[in-house]
Structure 1
Amino acid sequence: MGKFSEILTKEQILVATEEALRRFGVAKTSVTDVAHILNVSHGTIYRHFKSKSELLEGVTEKWLDEKIINPLTDVCNDTSMNGPKHLQAYIQTLIELKHHFAREDEEMFKMYAKVTEEAADLIYKHINHITDQMSQIITRGGKKTEESSRLAHAIFYATIRFHHPSHAYEWKSPTIYNEFLDVWDLIEKGLK
């Protein structure tokens, strides 16, 4: 037990925490559960994370980066599109990713929704990352840099119903995609 705890990394703890969350759920997972998976004492976990809340924030940040930001970065950097169609592809990817994980990775999505309510700094960082990428797309589409940032934030919040975890219960509606297309139609007209 001692040797492993000396070389234990934050990354290993975060991976084990994901495993515990998927196994036990966000409400029932404890730091002790994570320690058992790693075969260390719970005190070893606390050397890297001050509290369960900090641990959940770390897992959420890792999950958001890997599952949401990385695929969105690929869409942002795709030079085969430009203008409103590129922005629409970006927003649709954001929506599809969130809907996918709400259905297919329920425990991690619940953890993300819980942390969304408690960790404002992490969520602002996540939102700023997304709106910065949207702003890049808007700028490449011909808008001035100052204007693109304002537009990116407005579009993000105009579409929030389709990608914010507090609206996940609405995503099962058979009309949700058409409702997004109606909102997007207004946004696209406004961009022109």
Structure 2
Amino acid sequence: MTTREKILQETENFILKNGIEKLTISKIAKKLNISQPAIYKHFKNKEELLTVLALRFLNEQTLSAIFPFDTTNYTQRADIIHDWLWAVASAKFYAHQETPEMFALYTTYVSENQTLSQEHILEMVQSLQRAAALSTPEQAGALIQAFAYFHHPKISPQWDNFFQEQFENVWSLIKKSFE
């Protein structure tokens, strides 16, 4: 494991154990038995470290199933779209439930950063467009927007035990356009 990866892993461990509020670069350096300047060799500041960690959490740990989305066992476009949308929704739902500290990090450092948020949405649009062989990115974007309730972190406080049932209710309306 590289020093950069060790820093990211230790930062994540610290946040999970203590929360983001108590995080300092000096605490991470001390835990890794390295100097603070050694951390700044890999990340220009604490904000960059947390942004990289939030993106890693989002793309590698939360949404890895859609980058790329495996369609080898599908015959129907509607099934691909449904399962892709559900992969995103359920991954974010369970991340919010199981690792609220990391989900809060993602919410703060990705969804509230307009540039990163736009990049994230663009990656999602491209993934869905490829997976479902949609002719335009606008089609994929519209589907993602239609299901924003089920993946946008600002709405996560409203997610409850009826999350999947609500998802399927919305899907039943959308599915009709693919039949």
Fold similarity call, TM over 0.5 = yes
Is 1:52 the counterpart of 2:46? The answer is: yes
2:153 partner letter? P
Tell me how far apart the structure 1 counterparts of residues 123 and 114 of structure 2 sit (CA, whole Å): 14
Instruction: Say if 2:32 is the partner of 1:72.
Output: no
SS in 1 for 2:22: coil
Q: Percent identity?
A: 27
The match for 1:178 is 165
Distance 1:188 1:56 in 2: 38
CA contact (8 A) 1:60 1:115 kept: yes
Shift of 1:117: 4.3
| Paired residues for 1:96-175 under 5 Å | 96-139=90-133, 143=134, 145-146=135-136, 149-172=137-160, 174-175=161-162
Equivalent-residue separation in structure 1 for 2:21 and 2:149 (angstroms): 25
User: RMSD over aligned Cα, in angstroms?
Assistant: 1.9
Per-residue CA deviations over 1:17-63 (Å, capped at 9, x if unaligned) read 11111122112211112112211122221121111111101101111
Instruction: Extract unaligned runs of 5+ from structure 1.
Output: 1-6
1:8, CA displacement in angstroms?
A: 6.0
Q: Which moved more, 1:19-28 or 1:84-93?
A: 19-28
Equivalent-residue separation in structure 2 for 1:152 and 1:159 (angstroms):
11
Q: List per-residue Cα deviations over 1:163-185 (Å, max 9, x = no partner).
A: 1111111112x333222222112
Distance 2:62 2:178 in 1: 25
Distance of 1:151 and 1:84 partners within structure 2: 13
- SS of 2:73's equivalent in the other structure is coil
SS in 1 for 2:67: helix
Please name the residue that 1:4 is paired with.
none
| In 1, Cα distance between equivalents of 2:123 and 2:94 | 20
Task: Give, in whole Å, the separation in 1 of the partners of 2:124 and 2:2.
Answer: 32
Which stretch shifts more, 82-91 or 64-73?
A: 64-73
CA distance in 1: counterparts of 2:4 and 2:59, whole angstroms: 15
Q: Computing the radius of gyration over CA atoms, which structure comes out larger, 1 or 2? A: 1
In 1: Cα distance, 2:178 partner to 2:139 partner: 9
- Secondary structure of 2:159's match? helix
SS in 2 for 1:182: helix
Match for residue 10 of structure 1 among 4, 7, 13: 4
Normalised by the length of structure 2, the TM-score is: 0.90
For residues 131 and 141 of structure 2, what CA distance do their matches in structure 1 show? 13
Indicate if the aligned counterparts of 1:57 and 1:122 stay in contact, CA closer than 8 A: no
Separation (CA, whole Å) in 1 of partners of 2:153 and 2:27: 26
Q: Distance in 1 between matches of 2:158 and 2:60?
A: 25
Q: TM-score, normalised by structure 1?
A: 0.84
Q: How far apart are the structure 1 equivalents of 2:153 and 2:120?
A: 13
